[in-house]
Amino acid sequence: MKTSFAYIRPLLGAAVLACALSLAGCASAPPPTEDLAAARLSVARAGDADADQYAPMQIDQARRALEQAQAAAGNGRDAEARTLALSASALADLAHARARQAVTEAELAQRRAEITNLRQRLQGEN
C-alpha cells in the first residue's frame, strides 16, 4: 500500500498556519517605552522653557497626547501608544520652539529699545 499526501496535506497546512501565527506573535513590535520616555522628556523641556506662558495650546495638546499614550500603553495598545507618544513629542517640541522664539523676540525688542535710548542720549550730548 502506497502512502498518499492526501492524508498528510491537511496536517501539513495546519502546521504551517500554526507556525506562521506563532511567528507573527513573536514579530510584534516591542512596547513603546522609549517613545513614551522621549515624549515625557520633550513635554518637561517645553514646560521648563515657559511654554505654558508662550505656547499654552501646544503644550496642553502635548500633555493630553502623552496622557493618552500612557493609557494606551497600559491597555496593551502599543501601536496607538507609539503614535500618540510621537505626536506628544512633536507638539512639545513645537511648544518649546515657540516659547524660545517669544523669549528671543522679547530680548530683541529690549535690546532695540536700549539702542534707541543710547542714540537719543548721544544726540542730546552733541
Tens-place pLDDT, residues 46-80: 999 999 999 999 999 999 999 999 999 999 999 99
Query: What is the rounded CA–CA span in Å between residue 90 and residue 96?
Result: 10
The whole-number pLDDT of residue 30 equals 80
The whole-number pLDDT of residue 16 equals 53
The whole-number pLDDT of residue 72 equals 96
The whole-number pLDDT of residue 5 equals 47
Domain borders along the chain are 32-125
**Inter-axis angle of helices 33-48 and 56-74, nearest 10:** 160
> In angstroms, what is the C-alpha Rg of the chain?
29
Q: Residue 39: which of 77, 102, 96, 111 has the closest Cα?
A: 96
Digitized pLDDT (tens) for each residue of the chain, 126 residues in all: 455 545 455 544 555 555 555 555 554 668 899 999 999 999 999 999 999 999 999 999 999 999 999 999 999 999 999 999 999 999 999 999 999 999 999 999 999 999 999 999 999 876
Query: What is the rounded CA–CA span in Å between residue 24 and residue 79?
Result: 15
The whole-number pLDDT of residue 15 equals 56
Whole-prediction pTM = 0.70
